[in-house]
Amino acid sequence: MARTLSAGVVVVRRFKGSWWFLLLRAYRNWDFPKGRVEENETPMQAALREVAEETGIEDLRFPWGKVYSETAPYRRNKVARYYLGETRQERFELRVNPDLGRPEHHEGRWCTSSEAARLLPDRLQPVLSWAVAMIERGEVKNPDHSRSRS
């Protein structure tokens, strides 16, 4: 079975001296903004598009570089790749998906890393740990592609 790649962003922002993570919920499942990489689109382009489509956030910077963390394969050999991006934008909106006629997500919220760890499923715990470690180390990478795998 061929691998399907999704791409998204672990969106973070500084608030009251700490880092907050944007999580989105569809039904009972919490995740970071992400979606399928379309034909003729790079994973980074897909990640940026998905964040904008799902949340309206277009103010993203990548001070840690274009590094990413990927999930282990799940549901029908799908892999999700996440970049770590910072925004200064507090407000977001759960936008309507034109194909569905409604937003893809039922809820979104800014969370501390400990709250995110309680909400996210097991398959996303390594991605969260990677993002927290990158932030804590303060690593800023060359904007060229480098890779971190969970």
Stated pTM of the model: 0.89
Is-contact 7 81, C-beta < 8 A? yes
The per-residue pLDDT for range 109-124, each reduced to its tens digit, is 999 999 999 999 999 9
In which band, very low, low, confident or very high, does the pLDDT at 126 lie, cut at 50, 70 and 90? very high
Question: Which residues have CB under 8 Å from 33's CB, separation 6+?
Answer: 8, 9, 11, 22, 24, 50, 51, 54, 55, 57
Mean pLDDT over 124-137 rounds to 96
The domain made up of 4-137 has a fold known as: Nucleoside Triphosphate Pyrophosphohydrolase (3.90.79)
Name the average pLDDT for the chain: 90
Residue 138 or residue 70, greater confidence: 70
Rounded CA gap, 19 and 24, in Å?
17
Is there a contact between 108 and 119 (Cβ–Cβ < 8 Å)?
A: no
pLDDT band at 16 (very low <50, low <70, confident <90, very high): confident
Per-domain boundaries in the chain: 4-137
The owner of tokens 């910072």 is 86
Closest CA to 8 of 61, 63, 69: 69
For residues 18 and 112, the answer to whether their CB atoms sit within 8 Å is yes
